[in-house]
Amino acid sequence: MKMPLQVDAITHAHPKQIIAKGEAVISAGSSTDMAYYLLSGSAKSQVKGIDGQSFVSGHVISLVSFLGLERYDSDVIATSPCEVLVMPRLLIEHHWSDEDSTSWVFACSMAADAIKKHQALTQDYHMVIA
C-alpha cells in the first residue's frame, strides 16, 4: 500500500537495509515501532507459508499492520534483492500530523478496524472449513 510519504533528505538520514532475495524483510512478531519503505525491489507477505500481499518500490511494507498493531502479524520475504529504508514510528506520525492533526489518529483507527474485520472473516472461513 502506498502512503503519501516524501522520501527526502530527512528520511534519507535513517538506515537502509539491503536484503537478498528469499530473506526476511520483516518477521512476524517484530515490533511495529519501525516502518519499512521499499526503495527498490519487491517482497511478499507470508502467513504460515501462504503468499499474501505483494509490495514493490514506493510501498510502505505492511502499512495496515504498522498502523493498527503493536507487532507485525506476518513474515515479509524479499522476492528480489531489496533496498529498504527503516524509519521510526514517530517520524511517520509527525509527518502525518504536519498535514492534519487528526490524520494520524484516523489512519490508525481505520487500520485497526480493517484488521478486526479481516480477522473476523478469516475466523469465519476457518470455522466453515473445519
Query: CA nearest 87: which of 23, 22, 24, 39?
Result: 39
Instruction: Read off the CATH number of the domain in which 27 is found.
Output: 2.60.120.10
Q: Which amino acid is at 34?
A: M
The predicted-structure confidence for 81-122, as pLDDT tens digits, reads as follows 999 999 898 888 887 777 677 877 878 888 888 878 766 665
Domain-located, residue 48: yes
Q: Would 1 be classed as within a structural domain?
A: no
- The reply to whether 130 falls in a domain is no
Tell if the pTM clears 0.75, that is, is over it: yes
Q: Do the domain assignments include residue 51?
A: yes
- 3-state secondary structure at position 68: helix
Domain encompassing residue 103: 7-122
Q: Which three cell numbers stand for residue 92?
A: 511517520
Give a yes or no: residue 41 inside a domain. yes
Q: Is residue 129 part of a domain?
A: no
Residue 30 within a domain: yes
